[in-house]
Amino acid sequence: MMGEDRNAVAQSKGGRVSEPRIGSKLTEASGPIRSSSAWPIVDTYGELDATEWIHTNGAGAYAMSTVPMMHTRRYHGILVAPLEPPLRRYVSISHAELTLQANGRQYRLSTHQFPNLAPTPGYRLLRQFAMDPIPRWIYRIGDEEFEPRLCLARNRNIAVMTYVWHGQEPATLTVKPLLPLRRIHDLMHEHGAMVQRVVLRQREVEIQPIFDLPPISFRHSGVFVGSPDWWRRFEYLEDRTRAAEFQEDIWTPGTFELTLRPEQTQYLLTAVGELPSESAKDLVDETVEYLAAQAPGSARVRAIQVLWAAADSFCVEGGGHTAIIAGYPWYGIHLRETLSALNGLCLVRGRVDFAKRLVACALTTMHAGLLPDVVSEAEARVGRPSPDATLWLFHASSCLIDHLGVHDPFVHRTLFPKLRRAFVRLKSNRRKNLIWATREGLLANGVEDRPLTWMDARVGNWIVTPRRGVAIEHQALWTKACQTMAQLAEAYGDTKLKAVAEDACSLAKASFQRRFWCSQTEYPFDCVSEERDMEGAWSDSSVRANALMALAIDPELFEPWQAAAIVARVRHDLLTSRGIRTLSPQDPDYQGYHEGGLEQREGSSHQGSVWPHLLGYFISAATRLAREDDQLRDELRQLVEGALEEPLALRFVSQLADGDLPHRARGCPAYALAVAELLRTLVVDQEY
C-alpha cells in the first residue's frame, strides 16, 4: 500500500489534512517535560511532539526517533546496528507498525509523514512518553491503556519490543517491521532485489532479503504472516529543512500477530544475525539494571544526574575498539572530540580503566607522531593526520595522569613513548608540513586545502574559517604539552628531555605574551602570522571564543588583568543562555542563525553560532578568578541548567545553537563534547 492511500484512510476517520508547521510542533516539546531525576517524562496529551529521544547499547547500536515515533531524520530507527562494532552502522529496523484491536475497534498507533498530507494520527492516542530508563509509551485506548517499551540489549545488535495491555479483555496486536537495511547516511528506494527468503522455526523467523548483509532474526509469541511489500514515500522533515533528499521507500517481510492478555507482557525480539540464548525478559532486565546504575543518585543536583546518565551513551566498546561516539545520530569516532571529552565523559564518572583502554586504542592509530582526525564509519580506516587531535592527546593524557600517577605502568610503558614521539614531531621546525615550531617557539599550521583547527567547516573547496598561521588555542595546548613532557621526563630520569621540554615551554610563553595581546580590543588576537618580523606579517583581531579556550587550558599564559578582561569581553559579546558564540555580533562576518542548505549552515557554524560545550571553558576561567564568590557560582550553575533546556533530544545537549534569540538548538542533537564539558565543569569547577 502506498503512503498516500494510508493517509486517505486516516482522513476518512477524521484526520487533519493540514501539513505540520516546520519550526513549531516538529521542533519543540508540546507537553511539559517533568522529572526530578535523570530520566525524563513527557506528557503529550495527544499533541504532535517532535522532541527526539536516543537509546544506546554500549557497542555502537542506537535507537532514535521523536516522542510519537514519527521519524524526521534518515538516521532514525528502532535498531541502527553496527555491523563492525562500533562502526559500519545500518538502519536495520526503521519502524514497527502497530495496530491494536480491542473492544471491537481497531486503533492504528503509528505516526508517519507522507507527501502533502497530515501525519497519520497515531500520536493522538499517545498520552505519555518516558525514558525510565528505556523508552516507554502510554497510549489511551478508550478508558484503557496500552504500553509498549523498547530495549536494546547491552553490547549486542538486538532490539526487544515489549507490549503490555492494561485492559479488561484480551486484545490483538499486529506488528509489521519495516526494514530499510541501508547505511545510516543513505536512503532506500524501491527495487527488485529484496528476496523473501524465510526460515520458520517454532516461535522464530529468519529472513535475509539482502545476501551481502546478515540475516534478521525474530523471536515471538504469536503468528507470523509473510506478506512482502514496499511502503513508499516516507518523508523526513528535518532532512527537508537541511535541503537534503528526504523521501524513502521501506520494505516489510510481513506481519506478526500477538494476543495480548491483560497485564501480561508480550515480547518481540529482533536480532541482526543469530538469536541469543537468553530470554527476552533477561535481556531487558540486564539493560534496565545497567542503565539505572548510571544515574549518580539523588544527592547530586538534577543537571548532574541528567548529564551523568547521558555521558554513558557515548562510551562504546566492540570489535576491538574502545571509543567515544562524537555525536548521535550521524557522527562516528572523531579523535579530537574523543580526547577533548575524555575527562568529562570518563574520568569525572570514575571510569578510569575505560579511559586507559580508550587512549590505548587511540594510540594505535598514530603515524609519524600524529593522530588522525577520524576513524572512518564505513571501513574503520583512519583519516588524515590531525595536529589538533595530537595536541588534545596531551591534554587528555595530563588528565589521565592526574588519576593514575606518573608511575602507573600504562603511563610509563605505553603512553610516554607515544607522547615523546608526538612531542618531537610537533617541535619540528620543518615548515609547511601540517604543523611546525616557529623560531619564536610557537606552533604554526598551514595547509591550503583544509583547516587544521577545531573550526574546520568547509564546503567543497571553500574553507569557511581559514585559520592558517599561529592559532591561539594551539599555543595553550602546546605549552601544557611541554609541561606534561617535562613532568614525565623528570619522573623517569630523562634530564635531557626535561630540559628540552622546559625550554620549549618558556620560549613559547614568552613569545605568546609578546604577540597575542591586542590593545585595541583589550582581547587577544585569534591568529597571528608565523613570524612577527616576516614580510606581510598580520594578525586577526576578531573576537572569537578561542582566546577563552586558551585561558581555560593554560591560564599561566595571561596576566591576571588580561584574564579578567577576557572573561569580561566574553560575558559582554559572546555569552548567551545556551553557550558561547564563536564570533562577536559586532563583527561584520557575524551570522546569527544556523539554517538553510549545507553551504549556509557550514558558513555560520563558526561565524556566530553558539556552542554549548564552550560554557565549560567559560566557567573554568570565571571560577578561577573568583573561586570564593558563591553568587557567581550559582549564576554559573544556572547557565549550565539553561543549556539543558528545550533540547533537540531528551537528556542530551545539542552541538550548537543560533547566535541570535531565541538561541534555538541546532546541529547534532546529542553532542558528546557538550555533555562532557558541562558535566566536568559542574563536578570539577563548581564542585557540586
Domain boundaries for CATH 1.50.10.10 within the chain: 542-688
pLDDT value of residue 461: 81
pLDDT-derived band at 17 (thresholds 50, 70, 90) equals very low
Question: With left for phi above 0 and alpha for psi between -120 and 50, is residue 245 left, alpha or beta?
Answer: beta
Question: What would the grid cell of residue 121 be?
Answer: 494520527
Mean local confidence (pLDDT), 358-386: 87
Least confident of 132-146, 452-466, 615-629: 452-466
**DSSP letter at 685?**
I
Which one-letter amino acid corresponds to residue 32? P
Check residues 33 and 346 and name the one with the higher pLDDT.
Answer: 346
- List, for residues 412-441, the tens digit of each pLDDT value: 999 999 999 999 999 998 756 789 999 999
pLDDT value of residue 31: 56
pLDDT value of residue 23: 31
pLDDT-derived band at 459 (thresholds 50, 70, 90) equals confident
Which one-letter amino acid corresponds to residue 437? A
Name the residue among 500, 493, 436, 502 with its Cα closest to residue 470: 436
pLDDT value of residue 378: 65
pLDDT value of residue 19: 32
Question: What would the grid cell of residue 19 be?
Answer: 501539513
0.75 exceeded by pTM? yes
614531531: which residue's cell? 425
- List, for residues 255-294, the tens digit of each pLDDT value: 999 999 999 999 999 999 999 999 999 999 999 999 999 9
Measured distance CA(474)–CA(468) in Å, rounded: 12
Question: What would the grid cell of residue 638 be?
Answer: 544556572
CATH of segment(s) 542-688: 1.50.10.10
Predicted confidence (pLDDT) at residue 155 exceeds the cutoff of 60? yes
Which one-letter amino acid corresponds to residue 470? V
Question: What would the grid cell of residue 197 be?
Answer: 527468503
pLDDT value of residue 9: 33
pLDDT value of residue 432: 62
**DSSP letter at 594?**
-
10 Å CB burial of residue 287 (0-12, 13-18, 19+) is buried
Mean local confidence (pLDDT), 631-655: 93
Name the residue among 325, 248, 327, 253 with its Cα closest to residue 77: 248
pLDDT-derived band at 26 (thresholds 50, 70, 90) equals very low
Mean local confidence (pLDDT), 479-498: 98
Whole-angstrom CA distances from 547 to 11, 224, 539 are: 57, 62, 14
- List, for residues 523-567, the tens digit of each pLDDT value: 999 999 998 887 888 999 999 999 999 999 999 999 999 999 999
pLDDT value of residue 34: 66
pLDDT value of residue 487: 98
